[in-house]
Copies of this chain bind each other. A is one copy, B any other.
Amino acid sequence: MARAQTLSRNQQIVLDIIEKAKGPLKAYSILFNVQKKGINAPQQIYRALDKLIEMGKIHKIESKNAFVACRSSDCEISKATAFSICESCEMVDEISDAKLSKYLSSFNHKKGMKFKRFNLEFFGLCKKCK
């Protein structure tokens, strides 16, 4: 058994920063922010990010190569993620909508492929920006 819920030192440092952030963070911006804590190399960041994603603690916003903390419970270890992204201020909000999630989780492609996971990114202008 792995130590399923305990985070390692580096994982905790990286998660803390992502959770405190107002918006999505990029890997190298995380790196620059933790150099005072003795983390010096991209590898250390990317390894922590990979594990945190596996655990469902964070998600990657693919269209931005950036990372946000999970604020939802619908996404069940990143099998079903949806985000709303402002094209002006870069704000990202995790969408937690049971109906949407159910609809997409049960969506079946004509060509017979059974899906294990999806990621949906909506783009527009947020309240502030429109």
Q: What is the oligomeric copy number? A: 2
Is there contact, CB below 8 Å, between B124 and A113?
A: yes
Is there contact, CB below 8 Å, between A115 and B111?
A: no
CB distance from A77 to the nearest CB of B (A): 13
CB distance from A120 to the nearest CB of B (A): 5
Interfacial chain B residues near A122, Cβ < 8 Å? 107, 109, 113, 115, 117-118
Interfacial chain B residues near A119, Cβ < 8 Å? 63, 120-121, 123
Instruction: Decide yes or no whether A112 CB sits under 8 A from chain B.
Output: yes
Instruction: Decide yes or no whether A130 CB sits under 8 A from chain B.
Output: yes
Residues of A within 8 A of B (CB): 62-63, 84, 86-87, 93, 95, 97, 100, 103-104, 107, 109-127, 130
